[in-house]
Copies of this chain bind each other. A is one copy, B any other.
C-alpha cells in the first residue's frame, strides 16, 4: 500500500519483466530481460538485484525473476499510465497512432496518483488505447476481449479490427494505408495454401495480405459469409 520509490530505469525493467512474464509462465530470465531492455546481461543482473532488494521481484540466481505483488502492481500502473497518455496524444492532441509511443514512454514516468486519475476522467475512462490494448483501471483490473489473429481466422469470416501485436511505426502506417484502423471491417475471402497469404475485402476493395500481417492483426469475429 505504501508508495515504493522507483527510478525510471527500475520502472522500465519492471514493465519489461511484466511483459515477458505474460508470455512465459510467470518467470523472466536475465537474458530475455537484457534483450528487451537493450542492455547487457551484466547490467540486467545488477538491476535484478536492486529490484530484489526493493522486494519488487523474487530473484533466484541463474533462474531469473518473478514479480512480487507490489512489483506487478507497479508494472500495471505503469502500463495504465502509458496507455492513457497515448489516448490523450491521439484523441486530444491529434497525433497518429504510430507517433505516440516515444512520448508515452516519457510521460508514463511522471509521478502522482491524482494526475493519472484526473487524466483518466478527462479522457472519459477509456478501456482501450489507440492500438487496441486494454487499459487497466485504477485498481489494476483490465478487460479482456475475445479476439483472434487474422492468420487463424476461418476463410469466409468477417472481422472487426481490434488491435495489433506489432506496434512498429512501419506496420501501423501500412495499416493506415490499407484503411485498417481499429474498428475497420475486414472479410477473409481466401487463404493461399502455399505461403498463407490472404485475399481480403476491406471497404469493398480486395487486397492481398501476407501471413506476417495476419500474425500481427487482431480481429473480433462478426459473422460468417458464404465463400
Contacts and interface: CB of A to CB of B under 8 A. Distances in A.
Contact of A95 (B94, B95, B110, B118): B118
Interface string A102-144: 1100110111101100110010000000000000000000000
A122 B89 CA distance: 11
Interface in A62-109: 89, 92-95, 99, 102-103, 106-107, 109
A102 B113 CA distance: 12
B112 A110 contact: no
Nearest to A93: B118
A89 B107 CA distance: 14
A102 B114 CA distance: 12
Contact of A122 (B92, B102, B109): B92
A92 B118 CA distance: 9
